[in-house]
Structures are given as C-alpha cells and as structure tokens.
C-alpha cells in the first residue's frame, strides 16, 4: 500500500490539510486520516477525485508509475514516443535524450 504515502505527500506538497481534502472528497477528516494511515482502503470515487484534484494519473497515485502529470493532451505520436522511451533501459533513454537534443538544436 505505497499509495498511502503518495496521497499524504501530494497533500503536503500542495499545502493542504486533511480537513480540506476531506471536505473536497465529501468525507470526514477522521475517515481521510484513516486512508492516509492505511487503516481504510481508498474508495475508487475518492481515488478518481484525488487524481482530478491533483491533476495526476491513477497510475501515479497508485504507485504504478512515477510519471506525475496526466498525459491527456498529447498526440498519438507523442504517446508512442513516450511509451517507447519508458521501455528503454536508463542508458538508452539518456542516448535518446541526447539525440532529441541534437535534433532540436538544428
């Protein structure tokens, strides 16, 4: 349940209190605190609401991905490029960044 740390970190990074987030979710501060402690599972409706609130993907919030921002406004080619880049080992990713940098400078 690594996501419990992620929801706490997102809240703290945005300088929000548990009460403020609980109000946004339509729940009590006590219940929200239980989500952050892992005492209660986060309901899907709250997961979706938090993704929208923080503008992050569910994959990020659930620690499936470390890519924080949602990629709603990217083209199919950008999505393919991103997926290909993610599938490469770190060294190959650095090579790709170097090649893209060279291309953008011409």
The pLDDT value given to residue 53: 92
What would the mean pLDDT of 28-56 be, rounded to a whole number? Answer: 95
pLDDT(35) > 90 = yes
pLDDT of residue 30: 97
Residues 25, 56 within the same domain? yes
Residue 69 lies in a domain: no
Q: Which CATH number fits the domain that encloses residue 15?
A: 1.10.260.40
Which residue segment(s) compose the domain that 81 sits in? Answer: 74-106
pLDDT 10s digits, 45-101: 999 999 999 989 899 999 998 877 655 667 778 878 887 888 888 899 899 989 989
Q: What is the pLDDT of residue 78?
A: 81
Number of domains in the chain: 2
Residue 38: which H helix or E strand, with range?
none
Tell me, yes or no, whether 20 and 49 share the same domain.
yes
Say if residue 53 is in the same domain as residue 91.
no
Shared domain for 31 and 81, answered yes or no, is no
Half-sphere exposure of 35 (CA within 13 A, CB side): 25
81 inside domain: yes
Q: What was the pLDDT predicted at 1?
A: 62
Task: Please tell me the distance from the alpha carbon of residue 18 to that of residue 83, in angstroms, as a whole number.
Answer: 35
């Amino acid at each position: 349940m690594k996501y419990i740390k992620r929801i706490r970190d997102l809240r703290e990074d945005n300088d929000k209190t548990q009460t403020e987030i609980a109000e946004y979710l339509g729940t009590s501060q006590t219940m929200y605190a239980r989500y952050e402690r892992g005492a209660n599972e986060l309901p899907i409706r709250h997961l979706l609401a938090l993704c929208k609130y923080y503008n992050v993907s569910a994959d990020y919030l659930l620690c499936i991905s470390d890519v924080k921002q949602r990629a709603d406004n990217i083209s199919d080619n950008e999505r393919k490029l991103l997926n290909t880049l993610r599938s490469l080992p770190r060294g190959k990713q650095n090579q790709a960044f170097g090649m893209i940098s060279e291309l953008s400078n011409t």
